[in-house]
Amino acid sequence: MQARPVSEKETPAPAGKTGRTEADDAAYSLTLIPRIAYRNSVLRVTSNRVKLPEDGIRWLRNGKTVEGESGIQFSPLKVVKGDTIEAAAQVDNKEMFSNAVTIRNSPPRITGFREDSGGYVTGDPLEVDAEWKDIDGDDVEITYEWTRNGEPAGSGRRIEGTFKRGDRLVITITPFDGEDYGHPAVLNRVIQNMSPKIEQDLTYDFDGKVFTSQVRAVDPDGDTLSYKLDSAREGVKIGPATGLITWNVPEDFVGDVGVTVSVTDGHGGESSRELILTIAEEN
């Protein structure tokens, strides 16, 4: 019987070989995604040709098997930046490996801030203290940059200056962990109006007929002030521009009279104070 030539498709495999080619291995290769990963990423192993077992994956950290991990997903929270992660699975009695993914540095992030500004009013120092988190546990440096109406106004957590009502402040807070800068937090603030304050020391005078008392107030914004009486005995008056209280005291009156004075700055700021006008009996 004449031997039939063996076709290329039927060429037998050499002794000791499985017959799988490099192309076969590529077809069954595993892919680890995402290829760029951080400690808060979730790694997943996939294959475009083979159905992977839900509980038959071998995960490797720096070449060593991670105990207790056998699912198709892996959380790098159990590792540290710089570690190399791979996955392996048995395919047709052969262990196939995925690409290797190195855990990258996670930039720090601003999680909040505390403000000590007195409400951002004229005359107050301004201070911001950032709160941050770095998932890798790195030391973090925080930089603060302030602008006032678009112009540089200082750096650092605290600044002082001659700010006026309506000034617009922008504070840019940026974290840095020695490798990467985190996303900056930007605060926008406006210097608010500050209410006038009535001074504690008042002057009084009584000539036997007319009682006078000078009310004085100061306004940090330098606004023009207006005075008025919110409550008072009939006959008690106050100069709207001067704050001078006058009262034609009835003959033979002795005792106390309560009045409430308020002062406004024309920009929504107002303060009030209750005063006691005392007419003492002559000795």
Q: What tens digit of pLDDT does each residue of 241-252 get?
A: 999 999 999 988
Taking residues 233-240, what's their average pLDDT?
94
CATH 3.30.460.10 fits 30-103, yes or no: no
Taking only the tens place, the pLDDT of each residue in 153-173 is 999 898 877 778 888 999 999
Model confidence at 121, pLDDT cuts 50, 70, 90, reads low
Distance CA 66, CA 280 (A): 92
Over its C-alpha atoms, the chain yields an Rg (Å, rounded) of 40
- With a pLDDT cut of 70, the percent of the chain lying above it is 87
How many CB atoms are closer than 10 A to CB 278? Answer: 12
What is the structure's pLDDT at 163? 79
Portion of the chain with pLDDT greater than 90, in percent = 57
Q: Which two tokens stand for residue 109?
A: 């992030």
On the question of pLDDT at 207 being above 80, the answer is yes
CA 90 from chain centre, in angstroms, equals 48
Average pLDDT value for residue range 259-278 = 93
* pLDDT of 150 higher than 90: yes
CATH of the domain spanning 197-279: 2.60.40.10
Of 42, 17, 20, the C-alpha closest to 32 is 42
Q: Could you give the C-alpha distances from 174 to 39, 113, 156, 184, in angstroms and in order? A: 21, 12, 11, 4
| CB hemisphere CA count around 149 (13 angstroms) | 7
Alpha-carbon distances of 194 from 69, 115, 218, 265, rounded to whole Å: 62, 18, 11, 9
Q: What is the pLDDT of residues 140-149, one digit of tens each?
A: 999 999 999 9
pLDDT tens-digit series, residues 24-65:
445 448 899 999 999 989 999 998 878 888 888 999 999 999
Of the listed ranges 3-7, 90-94, 98-102, 247-251, the one predicted with least confidence: 3-7
Under the banding of pLDDT at 50, 70 and 90, the label for residue 212 is very high
Contacts for 230 with CB less than 8 Å, ≥ 6 apart: 260, 261, 262, 272
CA pair distance 269, 263, nearest whole angstrom: 8
Average pLDDT over residues 117-122: 58
Residues carrying CATH 2.60.40.10, the chain = 30-103, 109-191, 197-279
For residue 13, the one-letter residue type is: A
What is the CATH topology of the domain spanning 109-191?
Answer: Immunoglobulin-like (2.60.40)
